[in-house]
Amino acid sequence: MNYRSSLMFKFVSVFISVSLPLLLLLFFSNSYAMNLVRDQVAQTNSSLLSGQMSQIDNKLSEINKYMFRMALQDPAITSLEMQPHGSDEYLMTRIAAANTMEKDINYYSEIGALFIYSPKTEDYVITRSNGSQIPQNKFTENAIFEWLRKDGQSLGQWDGWRTIKVADIPCLIHVVKSGKDLYVGSIIPIQNLAEPTNKVSLVAGEQIIFFSEQAEPLTKSNLSPEFLEQITSEILRNNNSFHTVKIPDDYLMVTHRSQVSNMIMIVLMPEKNVYKQLSLLQKFIYFLPFVIGSFLILNLILLKKIVMNPIFRVIHAMRRIQDGDLKYRMPPSHSRELAMISETFNTMSTQISSLKINVYEEHIKTQQAEIKQLQLQINPHFLLNSLNIAYNLIATKKSELAQKMMVHLMNYFRFMIRSSQEMVTVKEEMKHIDHYLQIHKLRFPIHFDYVIEMDESAGEWLVPALIFQPFVENAIIHGMVIQEEGFHLKISCYQELVENSRGIWIQIEDNGNGFSEQSLQKFVASSQALHGDRHLGIQNVKQRLQAYFANEACLMMGNGLEKGAIVRLFIPKK
C-alpha cells in the first residue's frame, strides 16, 4: 500500500483541510467579536458594580440595623425624651447617650458621625469617629438641622439613606425615630464607602463614579465639568444598565443603583480601549457563519467516512467478542493501519477462543477436586459427633430411645455414604437434617425442640450436598444452652428473587448463646479466613459456595434482637 492510503496521511489531510481555511478566515474576523466583546465587558463591569454595590448596601443595612437597635432598645436614648429638659436627670441621660454613641461608633469604620436630635427642644448631640472628615462646628449642625427640618422628619422609617452635603462633603444620612419626638441619625461620608472601589483592578481604562439620584456627582473624577453634565443628562434620560455615550469620544457607561440608598454607581470606559485588539473589517462578519458552516459540514463528512466508520467497525467487533461470539472476524480494510488491526484482532480472537475452552475445562476439573476434598474434611466431623451421641444413649440404657436413635443414625450415615454426589434436592437435604436433629431430640427430649418449614416449590431445587449441615451442627454444639424455656431451633426454606437471580433462602435461627462479636468481625472481614475446628465447617461452606456459584450465592450471619444466632444462605438456581 502507498503512503496516501495510510491513516496518518488521512488524519493530516483532514486536519489541514479544516484548520487552514479557518485560520485564513479568522484572520479577517476580529470585527465579528466587537459587539460580543462589548457586551461581555459591559456584563463583567455590571457584575463588578453589582458586587461592589452589594457590599456597600450590606454595610448600610448593617448600620441601619444598629440604629434601630439603638433607637428602640438603648435605655439611655429611650428614656431621654421622658426626662424634663434641662433637669439633672436629663443631663445625665444625655451624657450616657453620648457615651454609648462614642463607644459604638468605632465598631463601624464607615460612619463619620452619629447624632441625636429633638425637634421639640432643638437639642442636638453629635459624636464623630476618630479621623472623621466631618467637622464639629456650627456649619455641620446647621446643615443637619436644615435637612431634618426640610426632609428628615417627613421620611418614613424604611425610606433608606439619602445624600446630603455636610461642609461641602458628599455624605449619606439616615434617621430613625425613637419615641414620640426624638431622632437618632447617622452620617457616612461617601468617600468612606467609595474607598474599596478604588482598589478594584480595572483592565480597560475604566473609572468608577458615584452619583445621586438627581445625577449629582458624589466622588471625584478626571472628567471635565462639561462631560459630567453630559453624563448627568444621560443618567436622567436613560435607565438602561449599559449604553454608549459621547463625551466627546464613545464611552461605554454601565450603571447600577443602590437598593438601600439613592446612590448610583457608574463605570465609564473608552470603547476604543475595548476594541483595540479587534479588526475594523466588520463587514466580513456576515459571511463567516456560512463559510465556517460549509467547511465544518464538509470536513465532518470526510472525518466520518475516513476515521469514524473504521473505528465503529472495530468497536462493533470488540462488542461481538465481549458478548461471547468468539467466531466473529473483522472484514479486511483498505487502510494499511486498519488492515493490520483487523488481522491482529482476528488472530487474537482465535487464540482467545482456544484458551477459553482450555481454561474452562481445567477450571471444572479443579472445582471437582476441591469439592471432593472439602467433603472429606466434613465427613469426620459428623462421624465423631454421631458416635458420641450413640455412646451416651447406650451408656444410659435407654433401649427404646437407642432403637430410634439407631434408625436415625442408619438413615443419617446412609445419606453420608451417598453424599459423594455433588448435588441433592432440598427435600433430601432437609430429610437428612431431620434425622440429625431427631438424634439430639432423643437425647434432650425436654430441653430441645425444633421445627422445619419448607415451601413445596422449593423441595425439588438442587443444592450442594451437606451445604448447611455445618450451621445446624454449630447451632447444637456451640449455641445450645440448658434453660427454662428450652433450646429452640427453626429452619426455614423458601423461594425468592434477589437482584434478578431466582433462588432459595435457607434460614437457621435459635435462641441460644449467639455468635461472639469476635466471630462476627472475622466473618465480615472476607479477606480473613476463619481458623480453628469450630469454624472449619463454615470455611468449607464458603469455599464450596465460591466453587459452585462464584459470587451469586450469599451467606449472612448475625444475632437476633434479644438472643440467639441467625444464619441465612441464598443459593441461586443452577
SS3 for 541-553 is HHHHHHHHHCCCC
**Of residues 399 and 7, which shows the higher confidence score?**
399
**Residue 386 confidence (pLDDT) above 80:** no
**Residue 420 confidence (pLDDT) above 60:** no
The whole-angstrom distance between residue 511's C-alpha and the CA centroid of its chain comes to: 44
**Of residues 518 and 172, which shows the higher confidence score?**
172
The alpha helices in 304-425, defined as continuous H runs, are: 309-322, 336-395, 399-418
Residue 283: which of 14, 540, 32, 25 has the closest Cα? Answer: 32
Residue 3 makes CB contacts below 8 A (sequence gap 6+) with 9
**Of residues 392 and 513, which shows the higher confidence score?**
513
pTM above 0.75, yes or no: no
User: In a 3-state reduction of DSSP, which class is residue 152?
Assistant: helix
- The owner of cell 454595610 is 59
Question: Using one digit for the tens of pLDDT, what is the confidence trace for 453-502?
Answer: 998 888 888 888 878 888 888 888 777 776 777 889 999 998 887 667 78
Residue 164: which of 204, 115, 235 has the closest Cα? Answer: 115
Q: Which domains does the chain have, with CATH numbers?
A: 30-278 (3.30.450.20), 361-572 (3.30.565.10)
**Of residues 121 and 530, which shows the higher confidence score?**
121
User: Can you tell me the mean pLDDT for 188-203?
Assistant: 72
- The owner of cell 440608598 is 261
- Residue 217 has a CB neighbour count (10 Å cut-off) of 17
For residue 450, the model assigns a pLDDT of 92
- Cβ burial of 339 (10 Å; 0-12, 13-18, 19+) is middle
- Residue 278 has a CB neighbour count (10 Å cut-off) of 17
Radius of gyration of the chain from Cα atoms?
47
Read off the pLDDT band of 176 (50, 70, 90).
Answer: confident
- The owner of cell 458478548 is 323
CA atoms in the 13 A half-sphere facing the CB of 75: 1
Residue 56 makes CB contacts below 8 A (sequence gap 6+) with 193, 258, 263
How is residue 102 written as a grid cell?
462614642
* Ranges 21-25, 56-60, 374-378, 499-503: which has the least confidence: 374-378
Residue 357 makes CB contacts below 8 A (sequence gap 6+) with none
Give the pairing of strands 487-498 and 448-454: parallel
The angle formed by the CA atoms of residues 530, 535 and 539, to the nearest 5 degrees, is 60
Residue 59: which of 208, 189, 241, 212 has the closest Cα? Answer: 189
For residue 533, the model assigns a pLDDT of 46
Contact 149, 32 (CB under 8 A): no
- Cβ burial of 234 (10 Å; 0-12, 13-18, 19+) is buried
Read off the pLDDT band of 345 (50, 70, 90).
Answer: confident
**Of residues 368 and 49, which shows the higher confidence score?**
49
Read off the pLDDT band of 522 (50, 70, 90).
Answer: confident
The amino acid that residue 562 corresponds to is E
